[in-house]
Chains A and B, each alone.
Chain A
Amino acid sequence: MSEVLLEVDHLKKYFPITGGVFQRRVGDVKAVDDVSFTINKGESFGLVGESGCGKSTIGRTILRLLEKTEGKVIFNGQDIHKLSKEQMRGMRTKMQIVFQDPFSSLNPRIKVGEAIGEALLDHGLVRRKELKARVIETLQICGLADYHYDRYPHEFSGGQRQRIGIARALIMNPEFIVADEPVSALDVSIQAQIINLLSDLQRDKQLTYLFISHDLSVVEHLCDRIGVMYLGSMVEMASKDELFRNPLHPYTKALLSAIPVPDPTLKRERIVLKGDIPSPANPPSGCKFHTRCPLASDICKQEIPEYRNVGDNHFVACHFA
């Protein structure tokens, strides 16, 4: 097995709910509740789940844009959350993020060239004279043209802005990129271009991705291994082929059955989940999924299912798997 680049170990991230006159802590939103996984060098790991299941929070906690509540994030052998501010600043060159919303992720008053190049300059990784050449080279790698250097973000389309966001992450020469739903704000035709760009970059630069998405078909195209999240917990994790061929958790089955197939004559069994996703401030007892699970029985309400390896590195948390 290849080398481990990132290890997420029993990671928890709770957001306090405060209330009352004195802003006392009255509860927690358990956005990420005890999640563990590893990502190997050069791999792309997909994280899927509904809105609000904590995918993005994991991505941001790994990069320490959010402070963890408990657990460890080990990157290249170092615990990210134990680094000092200055050490962390150095570490940031190795791990980058591409954001979901290409409109709010670029500062409207900063020209594209500066937005992409400023971090290199701030880290002292390049001399001022060479900066422009580096930025233009990166622009071109990301499918933009050199004259875009002097433009402002509002002059670009969503797809182009996302390319700018990728260029900004890429110029640091990172080993690891968190792609936080990089295509879900884009048109379908543009989505394909951006995904192809990401997969070309991965091949050329030996990048490692944590690819966060709620779109299974996108993840299927790009990822080697996939983790499925529900309400802050990992419910199933396996290699892409294994997960698509042999989904064990009823939630994964439901998600897979929701992927549209471009064949109107094909009759499929659709598993439609009833109800809404419960509140992560007050998750259901036992298996968090039991309120919506077609297979739920008494044991599901009482006992939290163990997250276990069912062979061939296929992990699942279900009493019936």
Chain B
Amino acid sequence: MSLEAAPLDMKTQVPAKQPDSPWRIAIRRFTRNRLAVIGLLILVVMVLFCVVGPWFSPYDLLEYDVKNKKNLAPNAEHWLGTDKLGRDTLLRLMLAGRISLLVGLVATAISILIGATLGALAGFYRRFADTIIMRIADVFMALPTLPILIIMGAILSDLKVEPKHRVYFLMLILGVLGWTTIARLVRGQILTLREQEFMQATEALGLRDRRKIFRHLMPNTIPIIIVTATLGVAGAIIAESALSFLGIGVVPPTPSWGNMITSANSLIDFRRRPWLWIPPGMCILITVVAINLIGDGLRDALDPKMKK
């Protein structure tokens, strides 16, 4: 019996598989986190429910029948009953979900766009840019959010903005008010990164600022952005619900989970017609919990210091 010599020359070894990119590793770690995967599944189901669900409904959003269908309890035709105008609650719930999720997503996207850009500029250029941007951030953080939102809501009502368009203003307001957290995080991250030797290397190589920021610094801040954004979506959904519940966010007839719960304001609806307010409440709860589970999972998966 003879032993074959193992190939020692590096060039004879065939490269195995795809390169094991940091993203691939993160995905693998995420899928090993059971709670996070459950959260993701719930969120997917929720999104399908809101986006695809309405197509299967035999009813129409604008269809109402106060005479015959007012305040029906859940039954075979209307699974979640009807409201005081005789509208199908299930259909309204699904369409409300579209609005609530969309507001959450777009508001967060706006926050990130503003926050990440300003944070990166502050962290990279430091000195003057840093001082100005971070002082503006301080001002925004010092603003009491709720009164401002209420005032904005009142202004929108006063200007008689159509309910359809109010949604967009709401996204913008929530987004603009929320950029500071992400700006601070991105700035902090970039301040640490720029002291690393690989950033000194980019300086020694004479790379342009553009490449340094977008190719070297930003990709390293994406994990933190993803995590904050995920948790931010949950926060924005809650904020939207709260405002809509108070009647200054999304206003009827456009449904949102928040303004659907408003029916719990009336004692009769609260005691006798729980099908009006329990389902949207549950939807908010489930969605926010699912998003938070995903956010935690992403944090664990993307943080290289938490290697398991």
Q: A106-B198, A107-B198 are in contact. Are A122 and B211 (CB under 8 A)?
A: yes
**Does residue A63 face the partner (Cβ distance < 8 Å to B)?**
yes
A248 nearest CB across to chain B (Å) = 35
Q: A65-B203, A119-B207, A123-B206 are in contact. Are A105 and B19 (CB under 8 A)?
A: no
List chain A residues, Cβ under 8 A from B304: 108
B198 in complex: contacting residue of A105, A123, A150, CB < 8 Å: A105
**Does residue A240 face the partner (Cβ distance < 8 Å to B)?**
no
B196 nearest CB across to chain A (Å) = 5
Whether B198 lies near A88 (C-beta < 8 A) is: no
**Does residue B208 face the partner (Cβ distance < 8 Å to A)?**
yes
List chain B residues, Cβ under 8 A from A93: 206
B21 in complex: contacting residue of A88, A122, A152, A172, CB < 8 Å: A152
Interface size on A, residues (CB 8 A): 37
Whether B19 lies near A155 (C-beta < 8 A) is: yes
**Does residue B281 face the partner (Cβ distance < 8 Å to A)?**
no
Give Cα A60–Cα B195 distance, bound, in whole angstroms: 13
Whether A119 lies near B205 (C-beta < 8 A) is: yes
Q: A111-B19, A152-B20, A152-B22 are in contact. Are A105 and B201 (CB under 8 A)?
A: yes
**Does residue A278 face the partner (Cβ distance < 8 Å to B)?**
no
Interface pairs A-B: 7 shortest CB-CB: A92-B206, A119-B205, A147-B15, A105-B197, A89-B206, A104-B197, A107-B198
Q: A119-B205, A119-B206, A150-B19 are in contact. Are A110 and B200 (CB under 8 A)?
A: no
Which chain A residue shows the least CB distance to B24? A152
Give Cα A109–Cα B211 distance, bound, in whole angstroms: 14
A108 in complex: contacting residue of B22, B207, B215, CB < 8 Å: B22
**Does residue B253 face the partner (Cβ distance < 8 Å to A)?**
no
Interface string of B197-236 (1 = CB under 8 A from A): 1101101111110010001100110000000000000000
Query: What would be 14 A-B contacts, judged by CB atoms less than 8 Å apart?
Result: A63-B204, A92-B206, A100-B197, A101-B197, A105-B197, A109-B219, A110-B215, A110-B219, A118-B207, A122-B207, A122-B208, A123-B206, A145-B13, A151-B19
List chain B residues, Cβ under 8 A from A90: 206
Q: A147-B15, A152-B20 are in contact. Are A92 and B204 (CB under 8 A)?
A: yes
Whether B20 lies near A118 (C-beta < 8 A) is: no
B185 nearest CB across to chain A (Å) = 18
Which chain B residue shows the least CB distance to A146? B11
List chain A residues, Cβ under 8 A from B10: 144-145
Known: A97-B204, A105-B201, A152-B19. 11 other contacts (CB 8 A): A90-B206, A93-B206, A97-B200, A99-B200, A104-B198, A105-B197, A118-B207, A118-B215, A122-B211, A165-B201, A172-B205
List chain B residues, Cβ under 8 A from A165: 201
Whether B206 lies near A88 (C-beta < 8 A) is: yes
**Does residue A72 face the partner (Cβ distance < 8 Å to B)?**
no
A110 nearest CB across to chain B (Å) = 7
**Chain B, range 6-21, C-beta contacts under 8 Å to A:** 10-11, 13-15, 19-21
Give Cα A111–Cα B219 distance, bound, in whole angstroms: 12
Which residue among B10, B201, B208, B216 has the maximum number of chain A CB atoms within 10 Å of its CB?
B201
List chain B residues, Cβ under 8 A from A91: 206
List chain A residues, Cβ under 8 A from B216: 107, 110
Which residue among A96, A118, A122 has the maximum number of chain B CB atoms within 10 Å of its CB?
A122
**Chain A, range 214-239, C-beta contacts under 8 Å to B:** none
Q: How many A-B residue pairs have CB under 8 A?
A: 80
Which chain B residue shows the least CB distance to A143? B10
A210 nearest CB across to chain B (Å) = 13
Give Cα A263–Cα B21 distance, bound, in whole angstroms: 48
List chain A residues, Cβ under 8 A from B206: 88-93, 119, 122-123
Interface string of A132-167 (1 = CB under 8 A from B): 000000000000110100111011000000000100
List chain B residues, Cβ under 8 A from A118: 205, 207, 211, 215
Which residue among B15, B197, B207 has the maximum number of chain A CB atoms within 10 Å of its CB?
B197
**Does residue A168 face the partner (Cβ distance < 8 Å to B)?**
yes
Whether A99 lies near B208 (C-beta < 8 A) is: no
List chain B residues, Cβ under 8 A from A152: 19-22
Which chain B residue shows the least CB distance to A160? B10
Give Cα A110–Cα B200 distance, bound, in whole angstroms: 15
Whether A155 lies near B20 (C-beta < 8 A) is: yes
Which residue among B10, B19, B20, B205 has the maximum number of chain A CB atoms within 10 Å of its CB?
B205
Give Cα A172–Cα B204 distance, bound, in whole angstroms: 11
Which residue among B11, B203, B216, B219 has the maximum number of chain A CB atoms within 10 Å of its CB?
B203
Give Cα A119–Cα B304 distance, bound, in whole angstroms: 27
Which chain A residue shows the least CB distance to B193? A107
Which chain A residue shows the least CB distance to B15? A147
A104 in complex: contacting residue of B15, B21, B196, CB < 8 Å: B196
B191 nearest CB across to chain A (Å) = 16
A185 nearest CB across to chain B (Å) = 11
B99 nearest CB across to chain A (Å) = 36
Give Cα A65–Cα B207 distance, bound, in whole angstroms: 13
**Chain A, range 75-106, C-beta contacts under 8 Å to B:** 88-93, 96-97, 99-101, 104-106
Whether A65 lies near B198 (C-beta < 8 A) is: no
Which residue among B198, B220, B304 has the maximum number of chain A CB atoms within 10 Å of its CB?
B198
Give Cα A119–Cα B207 distance, bound, in whole angstroms: 6
A6 nearest CB across to chain B (Å) = 15
Which chain B residue shows the least CB distance to A150? B19
**Chain B, range 232-274, C-beta contacts under 8 Å to A:** none
Which chain A residue shows the least CB distance to B222? A109
Which chain B residue shows the least CB distance to A107? B198
List chain A residues, Cβ under 8 A from B14: 147
A139 nearest CB across to chain B (Å) = 11
Give Cα A107–Cα B222 distance, bound, in whole angstroms: 14
Give Cα A88–Cα B13 distance, bound, in whole angstroms: 42
